[in-house]
């Protein structure tokens, strides 16, 4: 089935996004499905049955899920919505299923935002007066937690790494500065030097794998290692939408990006290989706990929790 140029363009924007966190991209993916239902091929007369509508939604959903393979919430939120739509389709007429899809998309987005708000509450409770927190790789959830903590503890500070070739740490720094939170931006290479000056490390996540390992922005593994060496608690903040019991960490596509982000074209001899992975994998044993909308999970609880409460 042909997909409208507008929808393809929106999917490509998600695939090329280098600044937003996984939860934000997941919510944008749902909006794309909503727009496809509202203004997609139905309006051009190419869809005149529920079967064709479902085919279009599936085609758009598959493109969305393949656009960011490292980011579990995109897969989980899209596949969950598609399954819900398919389950309701036998009970409705075409116009009704379109309206249901748009309404359900709004509900899914609202649910994700509510989960972030709950994580902000739980995460803020881990932060005390005078704490200095280090973070790495952009996460809207981490930003929400630090903002919530700052309303209680005005004397906290945040050290932010540059966060890989994408420099997403700059975005965190700008946001936190707007809230009045004291921030210091450092190069990734300096994380080991500064980690002993902080009380806690807090990062987001793009996926919690079936083996409990955490996929997040490249450099997270190094930060976890230096935090363990310095005996600094290392917390991951993420909604359960990022739990993925389908895949072990060794099966995850870590999304290699353009070499030009690492070094400009022509600056090195052609025989020099340049690698630019956007994500890495942090073993569960380096993680103190994972803060979800349902509370804090200690590292030894994560795999069991995922088996009992996996996102379908």
Catalytic residues: 206
- Backbone dihedral angles phi then psi of residue 243, each to the nearest 5 degrees: -75, 130
Our measurement of the distance from residue 45's CA atom to the centroid of its chain's CA atoms, rounded to an integer in Å, reads: 36
Contact 26, 79 (CB under 8 A): no
């Amino acid at each position: 089935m042909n997909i409208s140029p507008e929808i393809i363009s929106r999917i490509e924007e998600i695939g090329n996004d280098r600044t937003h966190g996984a939860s934000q991209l997941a919510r944008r993916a749902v909006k794309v499905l909503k727009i496809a239902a509202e203004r997609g091929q139905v309006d051009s007369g190419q869809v005149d049955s529920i079967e064709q509508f479902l085919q279009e939604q599936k085609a758009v959903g598959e493109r969305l899920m393949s656009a960011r393979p490292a980011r579990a919430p995109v897969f989980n939120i899209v596949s969950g919505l598609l399954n819900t739509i398919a389950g309701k389709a036998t009970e409705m007429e075409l116009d009704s299923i379109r309206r249901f899809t748009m309404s359900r998309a709004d509900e899914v987005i609202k649910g994700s935002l509510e989960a972030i708000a709950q994580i902000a509450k739980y995460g803020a409770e881990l932060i005390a007066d005078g704490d200095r927190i280090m973070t790495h790789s952009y996460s809207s959830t981490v930003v929400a937690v630090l903002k919530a903590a700052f309303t209680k503890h005005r004397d906290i500070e945040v050290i932010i790494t540059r966060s890989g070739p994408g420099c997403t740490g700059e975005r965190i720094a700008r946001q936190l500065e707007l809230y009045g939170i004291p921030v210091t931006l450092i190069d990734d290479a300096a994380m080991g030097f500064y980690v002993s000056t902080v009380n806690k490390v807090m990062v987001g996540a793009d996926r919690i794998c079936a083996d409990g390992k955490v996929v997040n922005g490249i450099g997270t593994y190094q930060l976890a290692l230096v935090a363990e060496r310095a005996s600094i608690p290392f917390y991951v903040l993420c909604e359960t939408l990022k739990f993925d019991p389908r895949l072990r960490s060794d099966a995850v596509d870590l999304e290699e990006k353009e070499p030009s982000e690492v070094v400009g074209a022509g600056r090195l001899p052609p025989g020099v290989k340049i690698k630019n992975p956007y994500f890495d994998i942090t073993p569960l044993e380096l993680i103190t706990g994972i803060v979800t909308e349902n509370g804090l999970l200690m590292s030894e609880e994560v795999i069991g929790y995922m088996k009992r409460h996996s996102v379908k």
